[in-house]
Amino acid sequence: MDSLPLSWYLLVAGVLFVCGVICMATKRNGIGVLMGVELVLNGANINFVAFSRYTRLGIDGQVISLFVIVLAAAEAAVALAIVLNFYNNHLTIDVDKGDELQG
Amino acid sequence: MNAELYESTSQTLKLLLAFAWLAPLAGFAIEIFGGYWSTRRSKAAAYLAVLCIFLGFCASVTAFGVWGSRTGWAALKHEEHTAHAVAQPPGPAEVETGEHAGGDHAGSLPARTYFSGSFYTLARFGNLIVSLDYYIDSLTLVMFMMVTLIATCIHIFAIGYMSDELSDDYVDHQVHTHDGGHLHRPGRYYRFFAYMSLFCFSMLGLVLAGNIFQVFIFWELVGICSYFLIGFYVERRSASTAANKAFIMNRVGDFGFLIGLMVLWTWFGTFQFSTHLVDGVERPGLFEMVRGPNGELTVDSRENIVRLHDPTGQHSSIPYILLVVAGLGVFGGCVGKSAQFPLQTWLPDAMEGPTPVSALVHSATMVAAGVYLAGRFFPMFTPEVLLIIAYVGCVTLFLAATIAVVATDIKRVLAYSTISQLGYMMLGIGVGGWGAGLFHLITHAFFKSLMFLASGSVIVGCHHEQDMSRMGGLWRKMPVTALTMLAGVIAISGLAIPVLGTTFAFSGYHSKDAIVASALAFRQANPVHFLLFFVPLLTAGITAFYMFRLWFFTFAGQPRDAHIHEHAQESPSVMTGPLIVLSVFAIFVAFGGQEGPLYRLLIHSEPAGLAAGVAGGPSGIVLPAHEAIHTVHEDAGGLALIAAFSGLLLAFLIYGLRVVDPADIARQLSGLHSFLVEKWQFDHLYEVMFVRPVLVVSRWFAAFDRVVIDGFLHALTFATIDLSQLDRRFDEGVIDGMVNAVGDAIFAVGRSLRVIQTGNLRQYIMFIAIGVVALFMLLMMFFPQ
């Protein structure tokens, strides 16, 4: 485990992040967008944990990642509720249809 | 009377008269506010006014009783005609000490015939003290009783006379509106009584006043009350004009009064009549400074100055001419107030007021205030001033009597007779008959207020018809009014019946007799002034003539206007009651003549030294002594009686028996008749002399205003407008432009940013992602490592 350098972890995290962003940017399904958000958040988590192992960040990084997990859960709950309402109003969860407030 | 008793009497009199004085003021305050908030149909104000003035009368009579008992009724006892008799009423204290033998201490306490002191100091400017004082002597007491008694009677009469006003919708038939109807307004019953109460307060304050400035204050107050009451029917143009005329004419006289006050203040340093305390130091009043203990003027003929008797030595002398100016100035005020020549024209017009006002204000009390002041201020008048007073009175009495002969308005006849009788009083005072003038003032007040009230009763009975030529034969319809009026007419004419050595006569005979006697004695002492005797004698006849003319015209003979006669009726008892009371006084008030109580009372206050006669002075005028007047009394009385009876006879022949038609006489003497009807052209004269020049000058000033002042103002205005327009353009262009530019810029930015709000979620995420990447790249570029 010690033989692996930090950059590998960062690479995995970067891949996850990019996957998440692409997911968010391309999916028209609201749930899919949420999933992309989860990928982005987990990419960030991997970064925190890796920095806590390899830098002077220490246990703080792991604690922050725990907070991120909890907040992600809460965010998912709220977002799902929004999606449900969106569905009630539009009979779809295609996010491209929700453009009533455009300028 | 010792000093202690003097002090306590002074306090008692002060309190009683102050109560009598202030009760009507309290009444006024309650009536004017209470009446405003209560209903217009309430008689409460009238009852309150009557109550207040009646309480004042009771207090005055009580004060008189106190005064009489404390002085042992010395005033009523027979006195010797000596110089000292008046100045020194008998009393144990002065007999024991005998300190008045030299006359040096005549001003010290027990010898005084008056009580004086101060209520309240209004203001003090250096040495000038403006205060409310009192000066009480027998004249004050008699005036108080006379004013309150007559005012009570007239207030009661007015309850009936003014009852038209007890309405929410009073119709004034003499005011025509534009649509041809009559003016409707709420009744002003309460206001009438409030003004009457205010007037009583002012009049009593004037009588009670202890300094000339206080007299001036109340002088103006009675003036303003008179103004209110003449203009009571303010919607009638004639009434408001008459009120203005009265007020403005009085201003002319009051201007003289002010000049007199200034002279007095400059040379005497005080306004007080009598000795008074300043910071605990006794200082002499005006009278004591001018007159010596025996009433003499100390004239230094070399320097033409009058030496003043001032123990403190601050004011040692006054130029003789200035003393004359001060006297004439104050007398100028009297001329205005008492409607003497040449300011007499306001009084007949003042009859526009309600009749009780004419009775109280414009015959019995206010106009008599001028005579009262002339009497009160007598010690300050030099012989020259007195001569002018006598001549003014003489001219006035003749002038007014001749106008009264041709007047047909019942109230105007009485108004002219008032002016004429006031002239008699002034004449009496001017020729040294001080007591005679004031005697006539009191008796005249009674019979003239009686006659005015009787005329008011006639006017009400005839439904507000005042023209005598439409009356006649009213005595059957109005017996009480006719009889009481007859009593007044006999009194003013001075008729008497000699019975068994004594004379039975109504009040007017005694007082007019006294004046004519004084005038005769004056003529004997100064033969060059013979007119001062003959004119009043002739006028006594004219007086009898026009007064009986009035009575015959109104009450006797056949009715001239059937319609008016048909509807005429006797007034209710609230109006005839006062008539009866006043007629009793008009008949008996002067009971005993010059030996009677009223004259004795008045003469008790006579200025010292007058009884012995005054001789000399720079102009050499001699005022007759009481002795001299007494010796000619019989002759004068006889002559006056003959004149009065011939007047009566003439009136009876012309208007009673109608042997000659008065219209024929008027045609024969049409020039004279119209001259008299036009009141000696005085109104025209004043119109030409004063009114028109004033109008011309005002027109000049108006033109000046219009052209120069207005032009300047207009130029200024236009310049301001131009400047403002310039300023407006700057505001609109620059200031507004700046603010708008900022607003527009922000609006444009917002508008352009609108388009990126597409509502497309994925696009936003792309922006975020690109933004994050860009931030990282920037971070890498500027903070490597």
Alpha-carbon span B379 to B50, nearest angstrom: 36
Can you say how many angstroms the Cα of residue B743 is from the centroid of all Cα atoms in its chain?
76
- The confidence band for A1, taking pLDDT boundaries of 50, 70 and 90, is low
Asked if A96's CB is within 8 angstroms of B761's CB, the reply is: yes
Tell me what pLDDT residue B694 has. Answer: 92
pLDDT at B183 over 60: yes
A99 and B765 in contact by Cβ < 8 A?
Answer: no
Tell whether A83 lies on the interface with B, counting CB pairs under 8 A.
Answer: no
Give the closest of B753, B754, B762 to A95, CB-based. Answer: B762
Nearest Cα residue in chain A from B772:
A21
Of the candidates A24, A26, A100, which has its C-beta nearest B759's C-beta? A100
CB contact under 8 Å between A99 and B760, yes or no, is yes
Distance from CA of B733 to the nearest CA of A (A): 34
The contact set of B with A (CB < 8 A) is 753-762, 765-766, 769
Average pLDDT over residues B559-566: 81
Please tell me which residue of chain B has the smallest CA distance to A17: B769
Quickly count helices (H) and strands (E) in chain B. 30, 11
**Coil vs helix vs strand at B79:** coil
In this complex, is the C-beta atom of A21 within 8 Å of any C-beta atom belonging to chain B? yes
Nearest chain A residue (CA) to B759? A99
* Lowest mean per-residue pLDDT among B110-119, B162-171, B243-252, B455-464: B110-119
Residue B762, C-beta contacts closer than 8 angstroms, at least 6 positions apart: A24, A25, A26, A27, A28, A33, A95, A96
| A24 shares contact with chain B (CB less than 8 Å) | yes
The span from the first CA to the last CA of chain B, in angstroms, equals 127
Tokens of B297: 């003027």
Residues B310, B270: Cα–Cα separation, whole Å: 12
- Locate B700 and state its tokens: 């000049």
- Say whether B761 and A26 touch across the interface (CB within 8 A): no
Say if residue B186 is preceded by a cis peptide, omega within 30 of 0: no
List the structure tokens of B539. Answer: 């006028």
Q: Nearest residue on chain A to B770, judged by CA atoms? A: A21
C-beta atoms of A25 and B758 within 8 A: no
Q: Do A25 and B762 touch (CB under 8 A)?
A: yes
Confidence of residue B78 (pLDDT cuts 50, 70, 90): low
Assess whether pLDDT exceeds 70 at residue A95. Answer: yes
Mutate to test the interface with A, among B762, B764, B765, B768 (most CBs of A within 10 A): B765
Tell me, what's the pLDDT at B500?
A: 57
> Rounded distance, CA B560 to CA B539, Å?
29
In angstroms, what separates the C-alpha of A2 from chain B's closest C-alpha? 24
User: Cα separation of B774 and B731, whole Å?
Assistant: 48
CA dist., res. B767 & res. B761, Å (int): 10
A19-50 pLDDT, tens digit each: 998 898 888 888 998 999 999 999 999 999 99
**Closest Cα of chain B to A25: distance in Å?**
5
Which residues are bridge partners to B498 per DSSP?
B503
Q: 């970067």: which residue's tokens? A: A14
Q: Is the pLDDT of residue B75 over 80?
A: no
Q: Quote the pLDDT of residue B98.
A: 35
Is A85 an 8 Å CB contact of chain B?
no
A103 with B762: Cβ contact below 8 A: no
In angstroms, the Cα distances linking B705 to B444, B699, B713, B718, B720 are: 51, 10, 10, 18, 21
Helices (H), B281-319: 286-290
pLDDT for residue B1: 63
What is the C-alpha separation between B430 and B389, in angstroms, rounded? 5
The ipTM (two decimal places) reads 0.81
Q: What is the pLDDT of residue B616?
A: 62
Confidence band, pLDDT 50/70/90 cuts, at residue B155: very high
Contact between chains at B759 and A27 (C-beta distance less than 8 A) = no
A93 touches chain B (CB under 8 A): no
Task: Report the pLDDT averaged over residues B74-98.
Answer: 45
Closest CA to B306 of B291, B295, B318: B318
Closest CA of chain A from B717, distance in Å: 55
- A53 inside 8 A of chain B by CB: no
Nearest CA in chain B to A101: B759
CA distance B330 to B258: 8
The reply to whether residue A96 touches residue B762, judged by beta carbons under 8 angstroms, is: yes
Q: What is the pLDDT of residues B311-366, one digit of tens each?
A: 777 778 888 889 999 999 999 999 999 999 888 889 999 998 899 999 998 888 89
> Using a CB-CB distance cutoff of 8 angstroms, which residues of chain A are in contact with residue B762?
24-28, 33, 95-96
Contact residues, chain A, for B760 at CB < 8 Å? 95-96, 99, 102
The pLDDT assigned to B274 comes to 86
Question: pLDDT digits over B495-545, tens only?
Answer: 877 665 566 788 888 888 889 999 999 888 888 888 888 999 999 999 999
Per CB-CB distance under 8 Å, the chain A contacts of B766 are 25
Pick from B754, B759, B765: which is nearest to A24 by CB? B765
Q: Are B206 and B219 in contact (CB under 8 A)?
A: yes
Cβ pairs A/B, distance under 8 A: 39
Q: What is the pLDDT of residues B406-434, one digit of tens each?
A: 888 889 999 999 999 999 999 999 998 89
Q: B747, B760, B761: which to substitute to probe chain A, counting the most A Cβ within 10 Å?
A: B761
> Which residue on chain A is closest to B751 by alpha carbon?
A103
Which string of DSSP letters, residue by residue, matches B748-769? HHHHHHGGG----HHHHHHHHH
Provide the whole-model pTM: 0.77
* Nearest-by-Cβ selection for A96 from B755, B760, B769: B760
Mean pLDDT value across chain B:
86
For B638, the 3-state DSSP assignment is: helix
Q: How many Cα atoms occupy the beta-carbon half-sphere of B461 within 13 Å?
A: 32
Chain B residue numbers touching A27 (CB-CB < 8 A): 762
A21·B769 Cβ contact <8 A: yes
Nearest residue to B372 via CA among B296, B321, B441: B441
Task: Give buried/exposed letters for B471-501 (b at 16+ CB in 10 A, else e).
Answer: bbebbebbebbbbbbbbbbbbbbbbbeeeee
% of chain B residues with pLDDT over 70: 94
Contact B756 A103 (CB under 8 A): yes
Facing residue for B759 by CB, picked from A24, A26, A99: A99
pLDDT at residue B104 in the model: 37
Q: Mean pLDDT across the stretch A67-71?
A: 94
Place of tokens 């008539």: B579
Residue of chain A whose alpha carbon sits nearest to that of B767: A25
Whole-number Å distance between alpha carbons of B358 and B324: 33
Question: Helices marked H in B462-561 — which ranges?
Answer: 479-493, 507-525, 531-555
In this prediction, residue B502 carries a pLDDT of 65
pLDDT at B284: 84
Which candidate, B56, B338, B373, places its Cα nearest to that of B209?
B373
Within 8 A by CB and 6+ apart from B423, the residues are: B340, B341, B392, B393, B394, B395, B396, B397, B398, B399, B400
Instruction: Report the percent of chain B where pLDDT is more than 90.
Output: 38
- A27 contact B CB<8A: yes
DSSP string, B83-136: HHHHH----HHHHHH-TTTTSTTTTSGGG-S-EEEEEEEEEEETTEEEEEEEEE
Chain B residues with CB under 8 Å of A43 CB are: none
**DSSP state, residue B273:** S
Which residues in chain B touch residue A33, judged by CB atoms under 8 angstroms apart?
761-762, 765
- List the single residue in B755, B761, B765 with the smallest CB-CB distance to A103: B755
- Above 80 in pLDDT, residue B93? no
Q: Which among B756, B758, B765 is the nearest to A21, CB-wise?
A: B765
Partners of A26 on chain B (C-beta within 8 Å) are 762
